[in-house]
């Protein structure tokens, strides 16, 4: 599996991907999930992939060597919408070639992509591309996309990221999101690729390949875990049975208000009496007394 996240702010774009691919706990490999298409002063386009590795590589190969159905390539597209259409066409071309063969062997056509960047004359843009080749665009209300093992790193992004977030803060947020995912899921692993694209630069100026020896990521790992424990310890424990005069921030039940959980009551003696009578009658003939 993998985890990739990309963010769009008014200042530019942030892309972060891991590099772990596994087909079981004893078959773990490293494949980089980020590909950059760059022509300085003209365009910077970034593709990140998740899902079946063979399909992902076939899509990337298709984009590198073939034109789309409209005759466009990532190098000739005049804006980001034409560029993402090329990505969608590449996904559909690979599907048309491989989907039936995969199905015969019991495999789904499983791929998802994040695509973004800027072409001269257009705005920095971010897209999520699905296995059908269709796509959606990031918006101010939803300024980020995740693919792969997304659930572990989502809470920090939802709490921190806005379209006004500076790029360095967005990159820090992405790294904390990745650290949370690494902590909770063995199928995501180092090294990481981090690319921060500054609006209107039209070239890559900030890129880092992060492994287990990277001091900044190690600092984030230690600091984030330690601060979470500190904040956790500072939150009051739940308080029970408080009266209105002594209500505190830790009170978990409302004073003076009795609310019980749904209960199933045990059977009473009266409820079981008919069964006891039936048992006594059934035993009657075998318990005769002498003289009867």
Is 290 among the domain residues? no
Q: What is the pLDDT of residue 271?
A: 60
- Residues 119 and 79: their CA atoms lie apart, in Å, by 6
- Residues 181 and 202: their CA atoms lie apart, in Å, by 31
Q: What is the pLDDT of residue 30?
A: 86
Is 218 among the domain residues? no
Is 144 among the domain residues? yes
Residue 170 sits in which domain range? 3-212
Q: What is the pLDDT of residue 292?
A: 47
Using alpha carbons, select from 229, 129, 157 the residue that is nearest to residue 8: 157
Is 276 among the domain residues? no
Q: What is the pLDDT of residue 276?
A: 53
Q: What is the pLDDT of residue 239?
A: 80
Is 280 among the domain residues? no
Is 88 among the domain residues? yes
- Residues 199 and 217: their CA atoms lie apart, in Å, by 25
Q: pTM of the prediction?
A: 0.85
Domain CATH code at residue 29: 3.60.20.10
Number of domains composing the chain? 1
Using omega within 30 degrees of 0 as the cis cutoff, is the peptide bond preceding 191 cis?
yes
pLDDT tens for the 292 residues of the chain, in order: 799 999 999 999 999 999 988 645 666 788 999 999 999 999 999 999 999 999 999 999 999 998 887 889 999 999 999 999 999 999 999 999 999 999 999 999 999 999 999 999 999 999 999 999 999 999 999 999 999 999 999 999 999 999 999 999 999 999 999 999 999 998 899 999 999 999 999 999 999 999 999 999 999 999 999 999 999 999 998 887 655 554 556 667 666 677 788 999 888 755 655 555 555 555 555 544 455 4
Q: What is the pLDDT of residue 80?
A: 98
Q: What is the pLDDT of residue 259?
A: 77
Is 19 among the domain residues? yes
Is 269 among the domain residues? no
């Amino acid at each position: 599996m993998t985890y990739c996240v990309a963010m769009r702010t008014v200042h530019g774009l942030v892309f972060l991907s891991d590099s772990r691919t596994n087909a079981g706990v004893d078959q773990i490999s490293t494949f980089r999930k980020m590909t950059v298409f760059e022509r300085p002063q003209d365009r910077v386009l970034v593709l990140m992939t998740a899902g079946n590795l063979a399909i992902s590589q076939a899509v990337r190969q298709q984009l590198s060597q073939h034109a789309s159905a409209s005759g466009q390539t990532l190098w000739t597209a005049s804006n980001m919408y034409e560029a993402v259409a090329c990505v969608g066409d590449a996904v559909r071309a690979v599907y048309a070639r491989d989907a039936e063969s995969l199905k015969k062997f019991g495999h789904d056509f499983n791929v998802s992509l994040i695509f973004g960047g800027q072409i001269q004359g257009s705005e920095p843009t971010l897209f999520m591309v699905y296995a059908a080749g269709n796509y959606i665009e990031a918006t101010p209300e939803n300024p980020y996309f995740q693919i792969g093992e997304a659930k572990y790193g989502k809470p920090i992004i939802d709490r921190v990221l806005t379209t006004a977030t500076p790029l360095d803060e967005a990159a820090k947020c992405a790294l904390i999101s990745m650290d949370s995912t690494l902590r909770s899921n063995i199928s995501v692993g180092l090294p990481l690729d981090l690319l921060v694209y500054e609006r209107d630069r039209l070239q890559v100026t900030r890129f880092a390949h992060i492994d287990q020896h990277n001091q900044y990521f190690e600092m984030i790992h230690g600091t984030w875990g330690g601060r979470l424990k500190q904040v956790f310890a500072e939150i009051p424990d739940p308080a029970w049975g408080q009266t209105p005069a002594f209500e505190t921030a830790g009170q978990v039940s409302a004073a003076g208000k009795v609310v019980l959980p749904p209960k199933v009551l045990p059977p009473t003696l009266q409820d079981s009496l008919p069964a006891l009578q039936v048992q006594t009658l059934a035993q009657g003939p075998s318990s005769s007394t002498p003289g009867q």
